């Protein structure tokens, strides 16, 4: 069971690593065309940065889970 769970964790991790940068790129482009004021754009960019940072933390957490299951 651990091997199957590890494979699922690795796939989820790989998917997040591929999707988040694409998601960020598309949203950043979309912000340009919204016509939002600079303050709102700054807030949105801050939230997008948090999403990216959270993704990096997720990777570290999943790495630790995988390592603990492999021991």
Provide the mean pLDDT of the chain.
89
What is the model's pLDDT at position 4? 92
> How distant, in Å, are the alpha carbons of 1, 49, 51, 54 from that of 41?
46, 12, 15, 20
Report long-range pairs for 17-21 (Cβ below 8 Å, ≥24 apart). 17/55, 17/59, 20/51, 20/52, 20/55, 21/52
What is the model's pLDDT at position 5? 92
What is the model's pLDDT at position 46? 93
What is the model's pLDDT at position 57? 92
Confidence band (pLDDT; 50, 70, 90) for 34?
A: confident
């Amino acid at each position: 069971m651990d091997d199957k769970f590890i494979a699922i964790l690795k796939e989820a991790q790989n998917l997040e690593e591929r999707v988040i940068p694409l998601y960020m790129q598309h949203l950043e482009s979309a912000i340009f065309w919204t016509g939002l004021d600079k303050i709102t754009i700054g807030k949105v960019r801050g939230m997008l940065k948090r999403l990216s940072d959270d993704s990096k933390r997720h990777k570290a957490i999943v790495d630790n889970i995988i390592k603990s299951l492999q021991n």
